[in-house]
Amino acid sequence: MLKSISFFLALSLLLALTSCGGSSKPAAHSEATQQNPRFTSGEAPADPDTSADTLLASDETGADEQTIYDQNNIKVTYLGYDPNGNWGPEIQLYVENNSEKEYLVQVRNFLVNGIPVAPQLSIRFYSGESGPAPLIILRTGLSSNNISAVESVEFSFYFMESSTVVNVIESDIITLNID
């Protein structure tokens, strides 16, 4: 009996591993860009002048785009807010990596309405690439903190060099007020 249970457990583990497997050969930089629709070769969205530390956001389509970070040859533009994302509300961002390095983009110190909530954002951008980077506020984090509406978010960006995963750049705290 124990042998048959062990056999079926090992068999299910083997099937699970083979179904999730892929090529161990890393894709070339140009292949990754051609196969991944999130990357664009065109210009980033236009950015109006933003001098305030706190930015106003809107959940309507066609919201004004605002540059929320532009240093070290990395530019992040706020495109809008989508309260109906698949995993929870999404803050729509567009990242341009004009540096010579490959960066992993993440957020830290994330607050929703002044309450710490775990966000979801971890995207790699190769040198010279740009594309969308949705910052997801997980619905489970909102419900466990009894947050029914997102009024404001506060966070800082972490840009880590992908090859070493060393914290290279941390932005100042960014605040977005969601209307």
Q: pLDDT tens, 154-175?
A: 999 999 998 887 768 899 999 9
Position 144 in a domain? yes
Residue 138 has pLDDT above 70, yes or no: yes
Determine which helix (DSSP H) or strand (DSSP E) holds 56, and give its type and residue range. Answer: strand 54-57
Q: pLDDT tens, 100-131?
A: 999 999 999 999 999 999 899 989 999 999 99
Number of domains in the chain: 1
Q: pLDDT tens, 18-42?
A: 555 443 333 433 333 333 343 343 4
155 vs 29, 91, 92, 164, 173, CA distance in Å? 30, 12, 14, 23, 5
Are 108 and 155 within 8 A, CB to CB? Answer: yes
> What CATH number is associated with residue 145?
2.60.40.2550
Position 1 in a domain? no
Scan for tokens 């994302």, then name that residue. Answer: 85
Q: What is the pLDDT, as a whole number, of residue 6?
A: 66
Position 14 in a domain? no
Scan for tokens 């110190």, then name that residue. Answer: 109
- Return d(Cα 126, Cα 104) in angstroms, integer: 9
Q: What is the pLDDT, as a whole number, of residue 162?
A: 85
Q: What is the pLDDT, as a whole number, of residue 95?
A: 96
Chain-centroid distance, C-alpha 105: 7
Position 25 in a domain? no
Domain limits at 60? 38-178
Please, what is the Cα angle at 120 between 104 and 167, to 5 degrees?
A: 30
96 vs 7, 13, 121, 126, CA distance in Å? 50, 40, 15, 10
- Return d(Cα 107, Cα 135) in angstroms, integer: 8
Scan for tokens 């919201």, then name that residue. Answer: 63
Band (pLDDT 50/70/90 cuts) for residue 7 is: low
Scan for tokens 């062990």, then name that residue. Answer: 6
Listed residue (111, 116, 102) closest to 39, CA to CA: 102
Position 72 in a domain? yes
Listed residue (79, 86, 97, 45) closest to 176, CA to CA: 79
Band (pLDDT 50/70/90 cuts) for residue 80 is: very high
Q: What is the pLDDT, as a whole number, of residue 151?
A: 95
Q: Read off the DSSP letter of residue 13.
A: H
Q: What is the pLDDT, as a whole number, of residue 168?
A: 82
The pTM (predicted TM-score) of the whole model is: 0.65
Q: What is the mean pLDDT of the chain?
A: 76
